[in-house]
Structure 1
C-alpha cells in the first residue's frame, strides 16, 4: 500500500514574521532579565519623592537621602508669614528643657521608601509590568508619609497671627441703662486668616519634602445676624426679662439670677425654622451662660470621684485613701434647659421661676471593699530612672506626678493609661510650668518632668513582663533617660504610655524617690513568666546642627535663655522576650529614633526682625497644579 505525501506550502512572509517575532520575544525577555537584574535590590527608575530621584537607589540609600531632607525640615521648620510678619512652625515643639519637647509633625521615611521600592513589585505580573513601563517613560511621584497634629498647628498659627484679624460682628442686642429700653446695634464685616487653607498647603508641601515659606491669605468674614432681619426683638427681650428673678437650684443650693444679670445673658439667635421673614429670635448667649455656670456654680457642685488607694504596710496591703463617688454639673445640658425654659416661658404660674440644674453621678472605679480580694503578695517588677541635674520646677513636677500614681490599682485585664491616671496637668493639680517655644512666642505649659514618670513606668512594665500597647520614644535623646531606647514620652492626650495587666491578679503601683532616683514598684502575684531583655544597641549617630537662636519679645532685650547642651541623633533598639509558665514565648524588637538635638537659645529683642524677601518662585501660593497630585492619583 503506497503512502500519500501531503506537502504544506507555508508562505515565506509568515515564516519570516514568525522568526522575527521569536527574535523580538527573545530580545524583550533578555532586556527584561537585564532590567530586573540591574534593579534586583533597587528602586525602579523614575520614582521620586519631592525633588529627590530615588530611581536606582537601594532602600538604605533612599532612606538616607530622605532622612537628610527630613532633618533639614526638623532643624529649620516651616515658616508661615502674613505681610511682614512671620512665625516658624517646628515639627517638634521646643522647650527650654529637651525633656518637654514633643512632636507635632512626624515623618515616616521607612514607610515612604518601602512604598517607593514596592512600586512595580507588590501587584500581579501585568500590573507590575505596567508600572515598570510607566516608570521608564514618566516621573512617578510618591507622597512622603507623615502625620501632623492639625489642631496644635492651627493653635500656634492663631497665637502668632490672630492680632492681624478683625472678626465680623453680628447685630447685637443692647440695653440702654438710662431708660431700660432694648435696641439692636448694626452688624459689621470682618477680615480673617484662612487657617484651613494654610494647613492644606502645609500638607501638600510636606508630602513633597518642600520647606518653602507659606503665605497666609485672608478672606472676608461675614456676620450671621443682620439688623434688617431683627423684627419684634425688643418686645421679645422685654417678655423674657419680665421673668426675672429666676432661681437655679440643686438640692438645697440656690443661685438667683436677677434682672440685670439676665439682661446680660440675652442675645440674638438665628431661627432654625423661619416664618414670614422672621429670621432672628431672642435667646441666651451660650458662652456667657456656660461661663457663669462654670465659674459661679460648678465649683460648689463638682466633686471628682476618688479611687481607693492602697499601700504595702508590714508586708500586707492596707488602705490609705478611701474611695468616694463624685458628682459633676452638666454645663451644656443645664444651659439648654435654662434656655428652653426662658425662651418658651415654661414655668408653672403657681410657683417661683425655678430651674433644676442637670448633674451626673460619677462612680469611683476602685472601691474600698476591693482591699479584701486583691491577691497582692510580692513585687513583680521595678522601674528606675535618674533625674540628677533637674531644675527645681522639674523636680517638683516629678514628685507631684509620682505621688498621684502612688497607690493606684490596676485590675486584671485592664489597660493602664498614664495620661488617664495622671488626670489634669495644671496649676490646680499642683504642677509648675515650663516655657515652650511656639512660633515667635514663648508660652508657659504644664507637665515638664512627667516624661520621667512615663519612662520609669515603661521600665517597670517591661520588668514585669507586661504587654506594651502604646509607647513612643522622645524626639531627642535626653540625658535623664540614658541608655537611649528605654524611654517613653507622654503628653496629654497623646502620646501616651499604655500596657495591659495580663497577670490575672491586681497590680498595685508604689512610687518612691531616693535621692535623685525615681522608682515604681509593681506589686502583684507572680505567675511564672520569665523576662529577658538585651541592652540597647545604639547606631546611626548623627551630629546636631549649630546653635539655633530664636528672637522673642518675652525676655529682656539682650538676655539669652538656652536649653541644655546639644545631643547627637541616633537609632536604637533592644530585644524583649517573655516566656510564660505554659511555655508560650513572645518576642519583640523595641525600636527608637532620635533626631539630633541642637542647642536652642531664646534671645530677647525689642522688635522682631522683618521677614526677609522671599523669592516668588519659592513661596507657596496655593496654585493647584499637576505636581500636587498624590502617588495614588499619578498611578491611575
Structure 2
C-alpha cells in the first residue's frame, strides 16, 4: 500500500517543532550591584504574570477537559468543543459518502460512481480525530500554549488521515477515458447514382486524465467524495450543416438529364451518369462540389465516338507502274475543354442543354494536293549485275530482302531517304563480304550492291545525295566512283527529295537477268544528269599492292542549260587481298 498523500500543508499540530532550551526571562547585569537592583525591580510583576498564566492555563484545561480545542477543523468541518466520540461521529457523517463511493461528475454520461476502495481511497477516521484532539496537548509548554492560542484566535487545520493510492485512481480514470474517448465523426456527402446522401457529423470527447486526477485529490482532501470528470468536447471539422449545403448543390446538378446537340443530332446524359461525374472533396472545413472531367469524358464516350474522327491523309496506291491517289478526308474533334468547361459552369446553375463545339481537323495532304504532287514520270533508272561477283543463294536472297525493304517508298518534297533506316531492322544470311580488305563471310552480304544501285539512280534523277561512302576496294559489279557502301550504325546512304513533287522509289531483283534494278518516279523537273568516272592514278602501298585513285564527274542540265559540270568526289581504292581466317572487322566493309 502506498503512503498516505497530503494534499494541503499541515498547520498547527502537524507543524515542525522547535527544539532547544528556553532562555532565561532576564539577564544578569555587568556588576553585581546593578544586576541585583534590576532583579528586584522585576521580580514582583513577573511572579504576578506567572500566576495569571497559571490561572488561565488551569481555567483553559478545566473548560476543554476531554474536548477538542475550539478552532480546530478537519477539512472544512469544525470539531472545536467536541469530545473525540462526538468528533468521530461528525467526521463519519461528513465522510460517509466519501468513505463508500466516489462520484465523478461531468462528461458525456453525467455521473460515474466508483467504490472508494476501488479508487484506492481508505479514510482513517479514528486517526484523524486523534490528530485533532492532540492539538494543544502535545509538546513542551510553549508549543502547547502556542497551538491553543492559534486555535482560540484563528483556525488550526488538520488534514484527514487517509490511505490514498493515486496509481489505483489513475487506472480507474484511464478505464473511463478508454470508454468515453472518441474522435469526432466528420460529416460526409455521398452520391449514389442520382441520389445524394448525407452522413451527419458527431462531436467527439477526450478525458483530461491529469485534471481529473487533481479533482479526485481535492475530493479526498475535503472528504466530499465528489470529483469532476474533466474533459474536452471535440468539434468535427466538417459539420452536418456544411454537408447539407454541399448536398443541395449536388442535387441541383442532378435535377434532370443533360441534352447535347450537334448538327441536328441529339444525345442525352442521365442523372446517374451526371452523379458519377461529380467530384465532392472536403478541404479547409468546407465541401467543394465540382465535376471530375475525366469521369465526365468517360460518360460522354458515346458522344465522342459519334463525332470525333481522325483526318485521313491522301495517299498513293501502286500497281505495277500505275500510281493512283487515295482520297483524303477532313477530320473533326470535339473541343474538349470548351465543352466540359461549359457543363461544369452551367450544371449547378440549372442549365440542361449544351451545343457541342467541334473543331475541323484538315489533313496535311489533301486529295487535290496529292494529285498535284503525284509521281507521273520515270526520272531515272540504274542496274547492276550480281552474276559477275557472287550469285550464291544466300547473297541473292539478301539482295531481294533489302530491295523489298526499299521498294514502294514514297518520299515527300524535302524529305530525306535513309537506306539503313529501312534495311537495318531485317534479318540476313551469312554470305561473302570484304572485311579489312579481305574477302570473308558475315551477315548481310549483298546490301552494298542494293545501296550502290539506288545511289546511282538518285544521282541520275537529280536528287541531292547528302551521305555516301566508297568501298574499300574496286568491285566487279559497279564502276569505281559509282558505289556506296553501308554499315549499320556507322555508314549510311542518304539523299533528299529536291524535286517539285513526291517521288516513288522502286527496287527489285531480276533473277532471269541476274540484275539489281532501281527506278525513281516523280514530277518532271527538267533536270538531266550525266555521270562518269576516271582513274587518275595507280600506285603501290608499302607491301607492293596496287592502290588506285578515281575521280567522279557530274554534269547537271536544267531545261537544257548546264547548271553544274565538275568533280563530284574523289575515291581511293586498295588491293583486295586473299581471305584471312583471323582477319578483324573494320568500319569499312565491302559486299
- Structures share fold, TM-score greater than 0.5: no
Higher Rg: 2
Q: Which has the higher contact order (CA 8 A, sep 6+)?
A: 1
- With the shorter chain as reference, the TM-score category is 0.3 to 0.5
TM-score of the pair, normalised by structure 2 = 0.34
